[in-house]
Amino acid sequence: MNFGAVWPEIVVSGVGTLLVALDPFVSAARQRWFGYVCLAGLLLAGLLTLGEPVGGGSVLGGMVTLDGFSMLFRLIFLAAAALVVLLSLDFILQRGKDLGEFLSLLCFATTGAMVMAISRDVVSLYVGLELLSISSYVLAAFLRDESGSHEAGLKYLLNGALASAILLFGLSLTYGLTGQTSIPALTHGLASALHTGYAPVVWLAVGMVLAALAFKIAAAPFHLWAPDAYEGAPTPVTGYLMVVAETAGFVALLRIVDTGMGPLAAHWGPWLAGLAIFTMTVGNVTALWQRNIKRMLAYSSIAQVGYVLVGLAVATPGGVSAAIFYLVAYLFTTLGAFAVIAALSVRDPGDAITDYAGLGRRSPALAVVLTVCLASYVGIPATAGFMGKLALIGAAVHGGMAWLAVGIAVNSAISIGYYWTVARTMWVDPAPADGGAVAVSPAGATSVALTLVGVVFLGILPQAFFWLSHWAGAGILR
């Protein structure tokens, strides 16, 4: 066995184990060091990923493939995890919680997401998905004395486990139809099973896999758990779930549906298109009524899932690469917004939008970053979100689904309504009498600055990332 291919995963899970083992021996005053150890481990894993040869071949008995897609998504997950570590240090320490335990769960969840990214077999993909999900359930319930947090954890678990069971039933049927669990083998097996009289079973399997993964990415009408889980979870965890757990859901969709069920694209494409338009509309319209910023961003993230689904629905290589680009843009935009929210809630637990009144005068830097992130969500030019939406609209028009492009445009217009409310509250409304400047720690400031650079860089010089997402998505659609 050649374990060289999975060194990045070994390092990240090793750091997780190390942190939980050292945790009892490190005094509360020195817990901050766990954050630096964790960041060093994530950086090392990133360097190891970059150093690996990209062959597209398979290793570890065909369970793992090292193609461009696995490389790019490993790096995406590592970058997102590192940003979440930075923005969670003070949030967790201020609440007197165990940072070592928190970070080790974060490492295990990230390992799961990375295993999904490199999987070439539904068995390893499922194990990665569950490692990510089970760690995420605990992370969501991490502030277990707060009523919102343990409720979020329980609801996330009950819905996530239900979705996993449905996914597994679908996968057990694809195994029965083809005798295979490797994804490239499913591609051929399912297409031929369709013509041997087992068509209804093929449809049942495809439908169950699609519905279960729609649950995991929180696409409407399977999204009802998401606002509760995202609102109740600790703020850094909400950012992590929105970015890593949802992106991992898209990794599973791209691998199992686009690759494994690729020859059936003419059949599942229209379903995904309907799911996309319904998801973005439900997300945007419901977000208009929200008064809590985390809950508002939860509905906004549901809307973003709808936009990304457009790239998958058109089932063209251009659509896949546009979806991958949008996921990267979404990573920086969402973590930027959550870096600001986490910085503000280090001392003050309030998440109401009215708590942001006068932020433009109290802390102009934070207000500017949050405004840029909201502009990126809307798709204002010179931000990452604009380039992402441009790519998706282009893919929809070229893929012969121009009505999806119209859907994106109309929904972006609707979304201005609620993003504008937050911007107006920050810049126009007067600050409360007791509201002074918000103190931001160096770690928090670093996470804010890095995400801002990401959002602006992708908006002004997107060519390199367009090329990367095209390269990574090249082998996905079969």
Partner 1 sequence: MIAAQGIPLVAFLAVAAVLFCIGLFAALRRANAIMVLMGIELMLNAVNINLVAFSRYSAPADAARGQAFALFVLAVAAAEAAVGLALVIIVSRRRNTIEVDKIDTLRG
- The span from the CA of 248 to the CA of 133, in Å, is 10
Q: Which stretch binds partner 1 (CB under 8 A): 139-147, 190-198, 304-312, 352-360?
A: 139-147
Which residue type sits at 386? Answer: F
- The span from the CA of 401 to the CA of 465, in Å, is 24
In the complex with partner 1, the residue whose CB is nearer, 13 or 181, is 181
In the complex with partner 1, the residue whose CB is nearer, 135 or 316, is 135
In the complex with partner 1, the residue whose CB is nearer, 292 or 446, is 292
Q: How far is the CB of 349 from partner 1 (least distance, A)?
A: 14
In the complex with partner 1, the residue whose CB is nearer, 161 or 380, is 161
Q: How far is the CB of 191 from partner 1 (least distance, A)?
A: 17
Residue 288 interacts with partner 1 (CB under 8 A): yes or no: no
Q: Which stretch binds partner 1 (CB under 8 A): 123-131, 261-269, 378-386, 397-405?
A: 123-131
Q: How far is the CB of 423 from partner 1 (least distance, A)?
A: 21
- Please give the span between the terminal C-alpha atoms of the chain, in angstroms, as a whole number: 29
Of 292, 352, 397, 456, the one binding partner 1 (CB under 8 A) is 292
Of 4, 47, 55, 147, the one binding partner 1 (CB under 8 A) is 147
The helix (run of H) or strand (run of E) holding residue 177 is helix 147-178
C-alpha distances in Å from residue 332, one per residue of 137, 237, 297, 448, 462: 23, 15, 14, 10, 13
Of 10, 44, 168, 414, the one binding partner 1 (CB under 8 A) is 168
Binding mask 173-192 for partner 1 (x = CB under 8 A): x-xx--xxx-----------
Of 44, 60, 172, 445, the one binding partner 1 (CB under 8 A) is 172
Residue 67 interacts with partner 1 (CB under 8 A): yes or no: no
Binding residue count for partner 1, defined by CB under 8 A: 45
Q: Which stretch binds partner 1 (CB under 8 A): 87-95, 118-126, 251-259, 373-381?
A: 118-126
Q: How far is the CB of 237 from partner 1 (least distance, A)?
A: 14
Q: How far is the CB of 11 from partner 1 (least distance, A)?
A: 22
Residue 194 interacts with partner 1 (CB under 8 A): yes or no: no
CB-neighbour burial class of residue 221 (10 A; exposed 0-12, middle 13-18, buried 19+)? exposed
Q: How many residues does the chain have?
A: 478
Close Cβ partners of 132 (under 8 Å, ≥ 6 residues apart): 109, 110, 112, 113, 116, 244, 245, 248
Residue-by-residue DSSP string for 197-233: T-HHHHHHHHHHHHHHHHHHTT-TTS-THHHHHHHHS
DSSP state letter for 430: P
DSSP state letter for 3: G
Q: Mapped to the 3 state alphabet, what secondary structure does 239-307 carry?
A: HHHHHHHHHHHHHHHHHHHHHHCHHHHHHHHHHHHHHHHHHHHHHHHHHCCCCEHHHHHHHHHHHHHHH
Q: How far is the CB of 144 from partner 1 (least distance, A)?
A: 5
Binding mask 203-242 for partner 1 (x = CB under 8 A): ------------------------xx--xx----------
CB-neighbour burial class of residue 5 (10 A; exposed 0-12, middle 13-18, buried 19+)? buried
**Bridge partners of 468?**
none
User: For residues 414 and 369, is the Cβ–Cβ distance under 8 A?
Assistant: no
- The span from the CA of 28 to the CA of 44, in Å, is 26
In the complex with partner 1, the residue whose CB is nearer, 227 or 234, is 227
Of 18, 22, 44, 154, the one binding partner 1 (CB under 8 A) is 154
In the complex with partner 1, the residue whose CB is nearer, 134 or 476, is 134
Sign of CA dihedral 31, 37, 43, 48: negative
Q: How far is the CB of 231 from partner 1 (least distance, A)?
A: 5
C-alpha distances in Å from residue 188, one per residue of 142, 180, 203, 250, 264: 44, 10, 16, 22, 10
Residue 164 interacts with partner 1 (CB under 8 A): yes or no: yes
In the complex with partner 1, the residue whose CB is nearer, 158 or 453, is 158
Q: Count Cβ neighbours within 10 Å for each residue of 145-180 and write b for 16 or more, e otherwise.
A: eeebbbbbbbbbbebbeebbebbbebbebbbebbeb
Q: How far is the CB of 241 from partner 1 (least distance, A)?
A: 14
In the complex with partner 1, the residue whose CB is nearer, 187 or 290, is 290
Sign of CA dihedral 269, 270, 275, 278: positive
In the complex with partner 1, the residue whose CB is nearer, 40 or 158, is 158
Binding mask 323-362 for partner 1 (x = CB under 8 A): ----------------------------------------
Q: Which stretch binds partner 1 (CB under 8 A): 165-173, 347-355, 411-419, 462-470?
A: 165-173
Residue 248 interacts with partner 1 (CB under 8 A): yes or no: no
User: For residues 77 and 110, is the Cβ–Cβ distance under 8 A?
Assistant: yes
Residues near partner 1 (CB under 8 A): 122-123, 126-127, 130, 134, 137-138, 141, 144-145, 147-148, 150-155, 157-158, 161-162, 164-166, 168-169, 171-173, 175-176, 179-181, 227-228, 231-232, 289-292, 295
